[in-house]
Amino acid sequence: MSDTENIKKGLEAYDAGVTKALAKFSERKKEFSTGSKSPVKRLYTPLDDAGRDYAKDIGFPGAYPYTRGVQNTMYRGRFWTMRQYAGFSTAEESNKRYKFLLSQGTTGLSVAFDLPTQIGYDSDHALSQGEVGKVGVAIDSLADMEILFDGIPLDKVSTSMTINAPASVLLAMYIAVAEKQGVGPDKLEGTIQNDILKEYVARGTYIFPPEPSMRLITDIFAYCSKSVPNWNTISISGYHIREAGSTAAQEVAFTIADGIAYVDAAVKAGLDVDDFAPRLSFFFNAHNDLFEEVAKFRAARRVWATVMKERFGAKNPKSLSLRFHTQTAGSTLTAQQPDNNIVRVAIQTLAAVLGGTQSLHTNSKDEALALPTEASVRIALRTQQIVAYESGATETIDPLAGSYYVESMTDRIQKEAEAYIATIDGMGGAVKAIERGYVQQEIQDAAYTCQMDIESGEKIVVGVNKFQIEEGPPKGLLRVDPIVGEQQSAKLKKLRAGRDNGRVDSALAALKAGAKGDDNLMPLILEAVRAYATLGEICDVLRAEFGEYQQKVIL
């Protein structure tokens, strides 16, 4: 009798036993499912592996289709970059937090900007009122950026910046600060998020309509491939899509569909795919369902590798391999019994590591209440260090490979994601699918289902709809002083009075002319930044030329 037949026979016997047992005691639930509501079977066996070809579908770390990871030694070579997203208040305050983080063993910086900065308004703009320094640091000009990185040698750290619509401007400021430190752009390492498509569907910090936004992105790809070769020019983000409520498979699908749109735009602009694709990077969410998340990361690598090879004909292995940053899922943090969040973050950290992430931000326990304090950030960072140094999860590569469950879920997520991508292709690509509201609707439906499942008790959130306690208001939360808005306005006034306004005007005029034509805008923005033109002034020039995006409101 063959192996398969033996297993089939064994399974039949097992099923018969189960049927008997169920007659006496039913299971906890009628149907079992993952965190994303995909059905989960009672048991997975080698029969679930039927039809899978190890060499072709799974393969080896550092080789196509990269299911098992993008490097050949993974964490045996070095750990992922422990990169804590931080920034609040003024450049001075945030600079202090970065130095604290570096002293505690973070290995890369990650800058959070406040909303006015992310949307291209100066701190003294009417719409900035009440928002300055709140969700990140306020940056109005190169002068603030110089303070932000004061005493931090830019040839020694890698810096990730969560900036999208005005990504060119902040990248230009970073390059200009490095120049002042005597560090050439070829020495700079880091990432700009620069992913506008997910802003339209999930995160909301858009400025310009899709077409000029895609041009700004393509200009960055082209500029960096020559001048800032070690910079990750985009971080194509599923994180916010998931936070907005999507399922794991939708996270993969919509992120990769966005990725396809960026590659398409760059190829159409005349770039060679292997010139820019090696610097594309990704950003995913690590949610609660450990195995589904690991399967998601593995599936994402395989889908991207296939797309790049088969659709775009990329040849450089670096163009095919999906490198990604991960952040633990903010939406899973509860305001109730916040210490429990430490445990959630630990599980999510393990998911990211077992999924082969290249860098990781762990959320702090108090983030459902406010920005994190230094003490809670330390625990979040220690969580990564404990997984790295104590858990043993890092000693071999892709340890969950071959699990009947994880492999079949990896296949399932790939299949679901590819079906979505085909649907989006049918609509004319991600930009069109977003314009008609398809992606937004899919995400919202999943978010609503999730909330209803929590309210019906079908989904348990410990401390929220089960195991609640009476608790007093949380103590010791971080507060951002509202005076920051006034301080930034005062700084701006001084800046505008003290700089060479002739140089600013001519730089902005040159930018305006460039925006009308089709020159690469990066050098023009860099010149404006060097002249201390403010972020708001630069974005206003582009607003006037490009117009502003009008959100499609969907319920």
Partner 1 sequence: MERKIRVLVAKPGLDGHDRGAKVIARSLRDAGMEVIYTGLRQTPEQIVSASVQEDVDVIAMSILSGAHNHLFPRVMELLKDKGVDDVLVVGGGVIPDEDIPGLKAAGIAAVFTPGSATTDIIEFIKNNLKRRE
The correct pick among 203, 302, 325, 491 for binding partner 1 (CB under 8 A) is 203
* Cα gap 156→69, rounded to integer Å: 26
Q: How far is CA 32 from the centre of its chain?
A: 29
Using CB under 8 A as the binding rule, whether residue 473 contacts partner 1 is answered as yes
| Residue number with CB closer to partner 1 (112 or 521) | 112
Interacting positions 264-283 with partner 1 (CB under 8 A): none
Copy the structure tokens of residue 45: 């066996």
Alpha-carbon Rg for the chain in angstroms: 24
What residues pair up with 50 in beta bridges, in sequence order?
Answer: none
Binding mask 499-538 for partner 1 (x = CB under 8 A): ----------------------------------------
The correct pick among 448, 490, 513, 547 for binding partner 1 (CB under 8 A) is 448
Using CB under 8 A as the binding rule, whether residue 244 contacts partner 1 is answered as yes
| Strand, coil or helix: 345 | helix
* Cα gap 80→353, rounded to integer Å: 8
Question: To which H or E segment does residue 160 belong?
Answer: strand 158-161
Residue with the two structure tokens 């080698």 = 46
Using CB under 8 A as the binding rule, whether residue 372 contacts partner 1 is answered as no
| Residue number with CB closer to partner 1 (176 or 377) | 377
What is the nearest approach in angstroms of partner 1 to the Cβ of residue 264? 25
* Cα gap 389→79, rounded to integer Å: 9
Using CB under 8 A as the binding rule, whether residue 129 contacts partner 1 is answered as yes
Nearest to 352 by CA among 402, 289, 396: 289
* Cα gap 63→442, rounded to integer Å: 33
| Residue number with CB closer to partner 1 (77 or 472) | 472
Q: How far is CA 440 from the centre of its chain?
A: 18
What is the nearest approach in angstroms of partner 1 to the Cβ of residue 372? 12
DSSP state, 308?
I
Count of residues that interact with partner 1, criterion CB under 8 A? 46
Using CB under 8 A as the binding rule, whether residue 482 contacts partner 1 is answered as yes
Using CB under 8 A as the binding rule, whether residue 27 contacts partner 1 is answered as no
Using CB under 8 A as the binding rule, whether residue 474 contacts partner 1 is answered as yes
| Residue number with CB closer to partner 1 (124 or 243) | 243
Copy the structure tokens of residue 18: 């189960």
Using CB under 8 A as the binding rule, whether residue 116 contacts partner 1 is answered as yes
Copy the structure tokens of residue 549: 């995006």
**Residues at the contact surface with partner 1, assessed by CB under 8 A:** 115-116, 118-119, 121, 127-131, 134-135, 199, 203-205, 243-245, 331, 333-336, 368-371, 444, 447-448, 451, 454-455, 461, 464-465, 473-474, 477, 479-480, 482, 551, 553, 555
